[in-house]
Amino acid sequence: MTTTLRSKIKKLSAGRRKKINKRAKELIAEEMTLRDLRKALELTQADLSSKLHMNQEAISRLERRSDLLLSTLISYIEAMGGELNIIAKFPHRPPISVSGFESIKGT
């Protein structure tokens, strides 16, 4: 007989399930696509298209791209009410916040 993950989780205590859900949300928050981020903020592609003066199809293409201009990414994040920060991570060193992009204006 096969045991599913759902059945195993149901057998856990409420406290343990709560901890698992909290950690799952943390892990998901660490890795989000632009589309995931937009949806998490309850925004539609139409919402962003009006803020960025682009059509909805262009927003859809932008969300699927893996290579963006930094100015485009800044504009997209700002249109959602956020601010883009760039962090460089190196082995055996603490993370470093990279600055100098403040003057870049989105397209």
Q: What share of the chain is helix, strand, coil (3-state, %, to 5)?
A: 55, 5, 40
Q: Look up the CATH superfamily of 7-98.
A: lambda repressor-like DNA-binding domains (1.10.260.40)
The 10s digit of each residue's pLDDT in 34-78 is 998 899 889 999 999 999 999 999 999 999 998 999 999 999 999
Paired with 86 in beta bridges are 98
Residue 107: which pLDDT band, with cuts at 50, 70 and 90? very low
Task: Report d(CA 97, CA 66) in Å as an integer.
Answer: 22
Domain locations in the chain?
A: 7-98
> End-to-end distance of the chain based on CA atoms, in angstroms?
57
> Which pLDDT tens digit goes with each residue over 9-20?
888 899 998 998
* Total residue count of the chain as it appears in this document: 107
Q: State residue 1's pLDDT score.
A: 63
Is a pLDDT exceeding 90 seen at residue 102?
Answer: no
Q: Which tokens hold the place of 24? A: 């799952």
